[in-house]
Amino acid sequence: MKVNGTPMRTIWLARDGWSVEIIDQTRLPHRLETVSLLSAADTAHAIRDMLVRGAPLIGATAAYGMALAARVDASDAGLARAHDLLLATRPTAVNLRWALDGMMACLRPLAAADRPARAYARAAEIAEEDVAINAAIGRHGLAVLEEIRARKPAGEPLNVLTHCNAGWLATVDWGTATAPLYMAHDKGLPVHVWVDETRPRNQGASLTAWELGNHGVPHTVIVDNAGGHLMQHGLVDVVIVGSDRTTATGDVCNKIGTYLKALAAHDTGVPFYVALPSPTIDFTLSDGVADIPIEQRSADEVAKISGLTDAGTVETVSLLPDGSPAANYAFDVTPARLVTGLITERGVAPASRAGIACLFPDRAA
Ligand code: MRU
């Protein structure tokens, strides 16, 4: 998508042909800085400390991490070490395991000498596939938005609420939840996006608002607790969020607070869609609440906040009284019964085992 009018992706191979460039998302929205990844250890740090984040981008970055590892040590033991190092970075988004296991399956049968080149090629394929998948999600999601918009009086914008950042910054390009929004906007459909700030790390306020603004999509940032009120007053036509892991039965795990939005949407009759690429579906799981591992991050992310001062410096301040403990659950699970539909690269499915299996019979089996 565009930054200052110029198309940009979130990850790319550097001019040297082997190191990997990423946008350091911890510096946004106030600074646009890139970072070079030179090793699997750099890659693990970038994922763990959230320089890159978002399920699809975590997967693509990990794939490049395997390529960086293979460049140095392409033995079975070397690849296994890199796989385990990268897999331990974050527990919830299943795209990480999907990408790492896929890299291992692709490299293991090869002679060690052939592995580095194949690893780079496969990582590039994963990145390109992600772009194509998200573009397809965008097309299917656009049809959903157009149908909802057609039920509104002419001239009124379509009000969409989204949570966290399931935008192009969470993927290689387009985003999942945002792909239909970008396509609608580019097509001239009047869209306005309510952007949940998404405490504690503010992915909505810092990232979604930044990318929508750069692409010229009208939006308003709201506090996380505002969504229910807006829905009660008819100010939200549809909710679209992303997913970090979706069970074979359609339960959806996404950024903490998503479940509360789904409850409010259910109570007020607002359609609640989840946009997700198929690598986010964990076909081994049936019960999201019981089975999906929920990441718990540092309490500091709740206890402190960073922002731009009037003097132009970025500073971090404390929010809590001395001694107050904080808990930081990073994700929650929205049961399938609260989800109106899953928007995937193969079309829109009911959030159910049958709905998912109908679109992905090859993988569900
Ligand atoms: O902790 P994060 O920022 O990695 O969480 C990201 C999300 O929850 C996104 O909504 C999800 O990965 C879907 S992204 C297309």
The CATH number for 124's domain is 1.20.120.420
Q: How far is the CA of 50 from the centre of ligand 1 (A)?
A: 10
Q: Is residue 161 part of a domain?
A: yes
Q: Which atom number of ligand 1 is nearest to the Cα of residue 203?
A: 3
Assess whether 148 and 295 both reside in one domain: yes
Q: What is the mean pLDDT of residues 57-62?
A: 98
Res 86: pLDDT: 98
Residue nearest to atom 5 of ligand 1 (CA): 54
Give the pair of three-digit tokens for residue 329. Answer: 């659950």
The reply to whether 154 falls in a domain is yes
Position 286 scores a pLDDT of 98
Does residue 175 share a domain with residue 38?
no
Mean pLDDT value across residues 164-175: 98
CA distance 287 to 248: 9
Mean pLDDT of 8-24: 98
Contact present, 195 and 204 (Cβ < 8 Å):
yes
Closest-CA residue, ligand 1 atom 14, reads 166
From the CA of 118, how far away is ligand 1's center (Å)?
28
Percent of the chain with pLDDT over 90: 98
Residue 134 lies in a domain: no
pLDDT of residue 230: 98
**Under the phi-then-psi rule, with left for phi > 0, alpha for psi from -120 to 50, and beta for the rest, what region is 233?**
alpha
pLDDT at 2: 86
Instruction: Give me the mean pLDDT over the 271-278 stretch.
Output: 98
Indicate if 114 and 161 belong to the same structural domain: no
Tally of domains in the chain: 2
78 Cα to the center of ligand 1, angstroms: 29
* Position 5 pLDDT exceeds 90: no
pLDDT of amino acid 4: 87
**Beta carbon of 261 within 6 Å of any ligand 1 atom:** no
CATH number reported for the structural domain that contains residue 209 in this entry: 3.40.50.10470
Over the stretch 69-91, which tens digit does the pLDDT of each residue have? 999 999 999 999 999 999 999 99
Q: Is 164 in the pocket of ligand 1 (CB under 6 A)?
A: yes
Active site residues: 244
**Does ligand 1 have an atom closer than 6 angstroms to the CB of 56?**
yes
| Confidence (pLDDT) at 335 | 98
365 pLDDT band (50/70/90 cuts)? Answer: confident
Domain carrying residue 335: 140-364
Note whether 154 and 273 are same-domain residues: yes
Q: Is residue 135 in a domain?
A: no
Axis crossing angle, helix 115-150 with helix 95-107, rounded to the nearest 10: 140
